[in-house]
Structure 1
Amino acid sequence: MDETTAPEIFNPLQSFGLDVKRVRSGRKLTQKHLGKATGYSHAYVSMVEAGRVKASEKFAQGCDLAFGTNGLFAGLLRRIDEGDHPSWFVPYLNLERKASRILTYETNLVTGIVQTADYARAVFRASNPRASTEGIEDKVAARLRRREVFDQDNPPFVWVIHHEACLRTVVGGADVMARQLDYLLTVAASPHVELQVMPFSAGVPATSTLPFTVLRFRDFPTVLYTETRVGGRMHDFAQTVDAALDDYDLLRARALSPDESLTLIKTLLKEHRA
C-alpha cells in the first residue's frame, strides 16, 4: 500500500475530537456555540477536536445534551480511559470511582492512586520495556486520572498503609523518589486521606504479606480487590471481605501512627535530597 492510499491513523483523543467535530458540523453549530452549551471556551473545543487535550467528563456529557446523542460521547470518553488500563483492572477502576472509603495495603510500591507522574513513568517503563514512549505516557496519564476521585463533590476517604519497603525501594532515582515522598506528605495533609507506614521493625506483618484493597460503599456491599501476576480479582463473599477487614485492623494496629509515619517519610525525603 503506497502513501496515497494508506489510511490515516488517529490516536483515541484525535478520534474522539474528530467525532465531536463531525457531529457539531452536522448540527450546524460553531465551536463557540458548542463551548457555550458545554460551559467551555471555543479554544477548549478546538483543542478537544484537534486531539490535543483529553475532554473532561463534563464536556462529554455536555456534548451529549447539545447533540442529543444519549450518552454516546460520555461512553466514548469512558472507553478511552479504560483502554489505558489492563482489561482485568477496569472493573476495579469503575468501583473505585464510586467508593465512599478506600482501604489499601501495599508491600512493594507506592499505591497507584497517589503516585506522581515521574514515579508512575518509571514503574511503567520497568514493567513495559518494549512499549513506545507514547504508550507509556498514555498509561501515566490514565494513572494520574485516578486522582479525580478527590475532586468529586463528596470524595472518598482513603486510608493507605505502605510497608516501609515501598518507601525505601528506589524507583526512578533519588530525585524521583524525593518528589514522590514530598507528594505523599502533601496527600497526607488532606482531610480525606490517612497515611500509615508499616516499619521493618514491626517484623512479619500481622496478616497476609500480599497487598490488597477494600472498597466500601454507601449503597451496596463492600468489595475486596486482590492482584497476582496474571491479573486482579474482585471478592464480595461476606466471610472473605470480613476477614480482609479484620486483617486491615491488625495492620493499622501494628503500623506506625500517622504522625510517626510522616516523621519517617520526612527522614527518607531528607536522605534522597542529600
Structure 2
Amino acid sequence: MALDETTPPEHLNPLERFGRDIKQVRLARKLTQKQLGRATGYSEGYVSKVESGTLLPRPSEKFAKGCDLAFGTGELFAGLLRNIEEGDHPSWFFPYLNLERKAVRILDYSASLVMGILQTEAYARAVFRASHPREDKELTEGRVTARLRRRELFERDAPPLLWVILHETCLRTVVGDAEVMAGQLEYLQAAASAPHIDLQVLPFSAGAPGVHTRPFTMLTFDKSPTVLYADGPQGGKLYDSTRTIALHLDSYDRLRAHALSPGESLALIKSLVKEYRS
C-alpha cells in the first residue's frame, strides 16, 4: 500500500512504522535525506526507501546505529530494528539466530524442506502459507522478510562455511507449484557455486540413513563449543552436551558418505529443474 502521512499507524507494517519514525525525527532535526545519508554512509535513495518502508529485506544495523548517532537518540533505532527482527521469528527460534550469526561453520541436514537460509522468497512464502493457512498476509510477509534477512550472513567479508545435505525429498516435494520449485532449485545451483557453500543430495537410493534421520543443524565457533539445533513438537531446541554433539557429528559423517558428490548433486538438481520447467 502507498505510505503517506495520513495512514494510521495500526495500518502500517513494522518496516513502514520504522521508516515513518526515521522521517519524523529527521524532519525534527531539520536534516534532508541527503544529509542523513551522508551521516550514515548511505545514499539519499537508500534513506528514501527506508522512510517509505520499501527497502527489502530491511534497513541495515549500520544504518540504524548511524541514525541514532546522527539524531542523538542513544540506541533507539538500533533497538527498534532488533524488535522488528525478533517479532518476525517465533520466540523459540531467536536463540538459534543469535548463534547462527556468530558461527564460523554451519552443518545442516534437511530431510523434507530446503533449509530456511537457502530458501527463495517464493518458496518461503509457500511454506508459510501452507503452515499458517489462516494467518494475516502481513504476518506472512513479515516471516518471509525475516527469513530472507538471514542471507546477510553470506554478505560478510568472511562468511561462515555452510555444508548442507538435502534429502532428495526436498527436491521432489512440490512447495507452491512447479514454477516455485524450478526457481528454488536454480537458486540452489547458484548458491552452490559460492566458495563458502558445499551442497550434497542424499538420494532415495541411500535408503535407511536418510529415512531414519531427523533434520538438524550444527553450529561451530572459533572459541566456543559446537551447538546442535533440532526441531521438536514444540519448536526447535538447542543442545550442547558433548555426547549429543558427538552422536550427531557421527550421523553427519554417515550422511555425507551416502550422499551424492557435489558434482553429481548439481547434475541431479539441474535435471529436476528441466522437469519442473517442462
Considering the TM-score relative to the shorter chain, is it more than 0.5?
yes
- The one-letter code matched in structure 2 to 1:33 is Q
Kindly report which structure 2 residues correspond to 1:114-133, keeping only aligned pairs within 5 A, or say none.
114-133=118-137
The 1-side partners of 2:240 and 2:222 are apart by 15
CA distance in 2, matches of 1:50, 1:122: 26
Q: Deviations over 1:195-231 (max 9, x none)?
A: 0111111110179521000001112221100112311
Q: Distance in 1 between matches of 2:47 and 2:263?
A: 45
Partner of 1:49: 51
Alignment of 1:82 with 2:74, yes or no, is no
Deviates more, 1:156-165 or 1:256-265: 256-265
- 1:33 matched to which residue of 2? 35
Q: Which residue of the partner structure matches residue 103 of structure 1?
A: 107
Q: TM-score of the superposition, structure 1-length normalised?
A: 0.92
- Given that 1:101 and 1:156 are in contact with CA atoms closer than 8 Å, whether structure 2 keeps it comes out as yes
Q: 1:8 to 1:173 in 2, by over 3 A?
A: closer
Q: Hey, what's the Cα distance between the residues in 1 that align with 2:76 and 2:254?
A: 46
- CA deviations 1:115-149 (Å, max 9, x no partner) are 11111111111111111222222211111111111
Whole-angstrom CA distance in 2 between matches of 1:8 and 1:69: 21
Out of 193, 200, 207, the residue aligned to residue 196 of structure 1 is 200
Q: TM-score, normalised by structure 2?
A: 0.91
Counterpart mapping for 1:43-192 below 5 A = 43-53=45-55, 54-192=58-196
Q: CA RMSD in A?
A: 1.8
SS at match of 2:175: coil
After the TM superposition, list the runs of 4 or more consecutive aligned residues in structure 1 that deviate by more than 4 angstroms.
none
Mind listing any 5+ residue stretches in structure 2 that lack a counterpart? 1-7
Q: Which has the larger displacement, 19-28 or 86-95?
A: 19-28
What amino acid is the match of 1:266?
Answer: K
CA distance in 2 between counterparts of 1:166 and 1:220 reads: 31
Distance in 2 separating the partners of 1:158 and 1:17? 33
Once residues 149 and 8 of structure 1 are traced to their aligned partners in structure 2, the CA distance between those partners, rounded to angstroms, is 31
Q: Does the aligned pair in 2 maintain the 1:207–1:247 contact within 8 Å?
A: no
Distance in 2, matches of 1:269 and 1:208, equals: 27
Aligned-partner Cα distance in 2 for 1:57–1:93: 15
Contact 1:88 1:232 in 2 (8 A): yes
Equivalent residues of 1:206, 1:247 under 8 A apart: no
The answer (yes or no) to whether the contact 1:207–1:251 under 8 Å persists in 2 is no
Alignment gaps of 5+ in structure 1:
1-6
Letter in 1 for 2:76: L
Q: Is the 8 A contact 1:206 1:250 kept in 2?
A: no
Aligned to 2:22: 20
Cα offset, 1:188, TM superposition: 0.7
- More displaced, 119-128 or 44-53? 44-53
The alpha-carbon distance between structure 1 residues 150 and 36, as it changes in their structure 2 partners (threshold 3 A), is same
What is the distance in 2 between the residues matched to 1:145 and 1:187? 15
One-letter code aligned to 1:86:
P
C-alpha distance in 2, partners of 1:70/1:212?
39
Task: Provide the rounded CA distance (Å) in 2 between the counterparts of 1:252 and 1:74.
Answer: 41
Distance (whole Å) between structure 2 residues aligned to residue 117 and residue 19 of structure 1: 27
- For residues 157 and 177 of structure 1, the distance between their equivalents in structure 2, rounded to whole angstroms, comes to 25
Aligned length: 269
Partner of 1:3: none
2:67–2:77 CA contact under 8 A, matched in 1: yes
List per-residue Cα deviations over 1:35-68 (Å, max 9, x = no partner): 1101123333233223332322221121122223
Kept in 1, the 8 Å contact 2:159–2:196? The answer is: yes
